[in-house]
């Protein structure tokens, strides 16, 4: 115990402000990496990698195994090269998020609102009526990120957003009812669009099992972009909204309208770099 206290005292005596900054930088990097891979399959892989590394360190340090130690030292560079391949989707998502953060630095572009307030009202009205009829729907509202690659997977409509248009598109067994409608400004750009499916474990851990491909697609597009996705469940008629890899469920029309208004309200000030990368970590004062 005395030796431990002496060692700790020796360490604290050698600490300088530069050492503290160094430790904080390393800690923040690890925290950011863990935050970016939360609720994804990468977290499971990361736990496996950490377990293997700890096991290898224990075997090579506690036991005299020359052949095994040589094998570990030989294969370690290959394992390090394999990490970018294994975690490629998460690394790409993190780089895209950092790249999008630049537009929110002081003097950057402000978050756009819908060009017409009637478009939001049409989405809310359509979601409420679709929910009452238990007609499934997926409506994606574009913000800053360009969604042209997903628009190209559907059928171009380029029509003014109305509740009747959305009701007709998502009427069961019509040609465009499968897939998502993408709305940009006050216009429905395309229908029957294919969205990326989420690899998140959020839906798998849900106590209910009524969330299917529409909810996975809503989470997927919210993970791949800054878009807001509104989902109506075909089984239960419940309304959900997804953004930044998170989903809020069981919304009534009034709450849905308030949330959409908050997302598309013009910014009073540009968000900082850190606020953009970790939007759920830092809560802004309204």
Distance CA 114, CA 142 (A): 9
Confirm if 184 and 264 have CB atoms less than 8 A apart. no
Tokens found for residue 67: 């052949």
* DSSP-derived 3-state class of residue 225: coil
| DSSP-derived pairing of the beta strands 137-141 and 180-184 | parallel
Q: Which residues of the chain have pLDDT under 70?
A: 1, 36-44, 86-87, 89-116, 199-211, 266-286
Q: Does pTM surpass 0.85?
A: no
Query: So what's the pLDDT on residue 109?
Result: 39
Sheet with 239-243: strands ordered across: 155-160, 187-193, 180-184, 137-141, 228-232, 239-243, 246-251
The pLDDT, as a whole number, for residue 268 is 47
Q: Which tokens in the block code for residue 10? A: 């020796």
pLDDT at 51: 81
**Alpha carbons 134 and 136: distance in angstroms, whole number:** 6
- Nearest-angstrom CA–CA distance, 197 and 218: 8
Over the stretch 132-189, which tens digit does the pLDDT of each residue have? 999 999 999 998 888 888 999 999 999 999 999 999 999 998 888 889 999 988 899 9
Q: Which CATH class is domain 117-266?
A: alpha beta
pLDDT at residue 284, rounded to an integer: 39
Query: Domain residues of the chain, as ranges?
Result: 2-104, 117-266
Contact in structure between 180 and 221 (CB atoms under 8 Å): yes
How far is it, in rounded angstroms, from Cα 175 to Cα 171? 9
SS3 177: coil
In angstroms and rounded to an integer, the radius of gyration of the C-alpha atoms of the chain is 24
């Amino acid at each position: 115990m005395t030796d431990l206290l002496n060692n700790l005292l020796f360490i604290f005596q050698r600490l300088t402000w530069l050492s503290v900054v160094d430790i904080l930088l390393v800690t923040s990097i690890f925290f950011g990496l863990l935050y970016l891979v939360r609720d994804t399959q990468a977290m499971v892989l990361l736990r496996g990698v950490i377990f293997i590394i700890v096991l290898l360190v224990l075997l090579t340090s506690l036991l005299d195994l020359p052949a095994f130690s040589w094998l570990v030292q030989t294969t370690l560079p290959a394992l390090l090269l394999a990490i970018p391949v294994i975690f490629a989707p998460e690394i790409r998502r993190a780089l895209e998020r950092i790249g999008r953060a630049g537009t929110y630095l002081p003097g950057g572009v402000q978050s756009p609102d819908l060009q017409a307030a009637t478009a939001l009202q049409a989405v809310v009205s359509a979601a409420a009526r679709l929910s009452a009829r238990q007609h499934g729907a997926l409506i994606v509202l574009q913000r800053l990120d360009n969604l042209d690659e997903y628009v190209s997977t559907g059928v171009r409509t380029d029509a003014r957003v109305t509740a009747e248009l959305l009701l007709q598109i998502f009427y069961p067994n019509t040609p465009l009812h499968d897939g998502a409608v993408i709305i940009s400004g006050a216009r429905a750009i395309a229908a029957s669009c294919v969205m990326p499916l989420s690899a998140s474990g959020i839906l798998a851990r849900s106590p209910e099992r009524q969330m299917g491909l529409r909810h996975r697609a809503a989470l997927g597009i919210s993970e791949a972009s800054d878009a807001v996705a509104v989902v109506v469940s075909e089984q239960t008629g419940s309304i959900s909204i997804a953004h930044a890899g998170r989903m809020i469920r069981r919304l009534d029309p009034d709450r849905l309208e308030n949330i959409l208004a908050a997302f598309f309200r013009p910014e009073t000030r540009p968000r900082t770099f850190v606020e953009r990368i970790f939007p759920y970590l830092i809560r802004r004062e309204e």
